[in-house]
Amino acid sequence: MRDWKKSLIAPSTSIRDTVIAIEENALQIALVVNENNRLLGTVTDGDVRRGILKGISLDDPVEQIMSSYPTVASISESRETILEMMRQKTLHQIPIVDDDGYVVGLEVLDELLLPQERENWVVLMAGGLGSRLSPLTDDCPKPLLKIGSKPILEIILENFIEYGFGKFYLSVNYRAEMVEEYFGDGSRWGIEIRYLREKEKLGTAGALGLLPERPTEPFMVMNGDLLTKVNFKQLLDFHLECKAQATMCIREHDLQVPYGVVKIEKHRLVGIFEKPVQRFFVNAGIYVFDPLVLDIVPKNQYFDMPSLFEKFDESSLEAAVFPIREYWLDIGRMDDFERANGEYISHFDNE
């Protein structure tokens, strides 16, 4: 993967030096930023050529020819959304910025179309009973329930494969033989699948203690009953940028109180708020961990994710959060399952 940071230049950089930067970074673009990496504009070879035609000297500052209102994407934009933006505007590069306009990445068309093969592992938790989806799960593990034309877990796998991930561990327990028979060693998808077999329920984090070796790169962990269009590349880039030991994906959740909420002071009524909406951030069940996090996961012991993150303070580890704005659905109840099937075509059926 090409280093997008080499594309960053100051507005005072000469056009001549900008041309050199564009040629050396192999990204065909320069991102003009201030001292804090806030995006001010972009410059391509076309901008340079148009500047020359206007009589601007190559020794003039690049701010004279930069595009001051470039197309950008937010850190939470999905791969499909960014590709569509590129197609509509005939772009080969789109800067990725956070909510305050600071550059956090750069998407390049050929990298999106041909994702780099990644060494990062993906651990998918697929051993749950799925009891709230009974009777569907009485004889079938929840990860094999079909959404549209494919099992939930197959949709998840294919999403990761799109971003170049190819090394998977599946944590299995309930009806494990069915999951293993369906997915095998992963060769049908051109990937490698191995299994973490829980002899008893180990919780949402305990299965990490079954990993046979320590990964050398940050690894992803995701619940096997989620459907999402999160950009896994941007998630991994965000984790590396934050230099935290863990990143938890979070999702905004609205909760409307179905009544008028009364505010009182002592015995007096001072206000009433009709059906107010409260907003929370909830755990989205997707994580990135540095390998050293495995040191605080107990072996063969029930251990859940909240307990893992509670240990961070006493272990002097840091955790970051990555807000998901893309499609996300936790298939925990029957109405979630029905909703997922209703939304499958619009979000996941690319055939």
| Alpha-helix residue ranges (DSSP H) falling in the chain | 15-25, 45-53, 79-89, 109-113, 152-162, 176-183, 203-206, 232-242, 305-314, 334-347
Q: What is the pLDDT of residue 215?
A: 96
Task: Identify the band that residue 255 occupies on the pLDDT scale cut at 50, 70 and 90.
Answer: confident
Q: Report the residue count for the chain.
A: 351
Q: Are the C-beta atoms of residues 227 and 155 closer than 8 Å to each other?
A: yes
Per the CB < 8 A criterion, the answer to whether 27 and 108 are in contact is yes
pLDDT value for 1: 60
Q: Where are the domains of the chain?
A: 4-113, 118-347
Question: Is there a contact between 52 and 16 (Cβ–Cβ < 8 Å)?
Answer: no
Q: Which CATH class is domain 4-113?
A: alpha beta
134-169: per-residue pLDDT in tens?
888 888 888 999 998 899 999 999 999 988 899 999
pLDDT at 351 > cutoff 50: no
Q: Are 210 and 125 in contact (CB under 8 A)?
A: no
* pLDDT in the model for residue 115: 65
Cα dihedral 241/247/252/255 (nearest 10): -160
Rounded CA-CA distance 343/175 in Å is 27
Q: Which amino acid would we find at residue 56?
A: I
Render pLDDT for 308-342 as a digit per residue (tens, 0 to 9): 999 998 888 999 988 887 889 999 888 888 888 88
CATH 3.90.550.10 is right for the domain spanning 118-347? yes
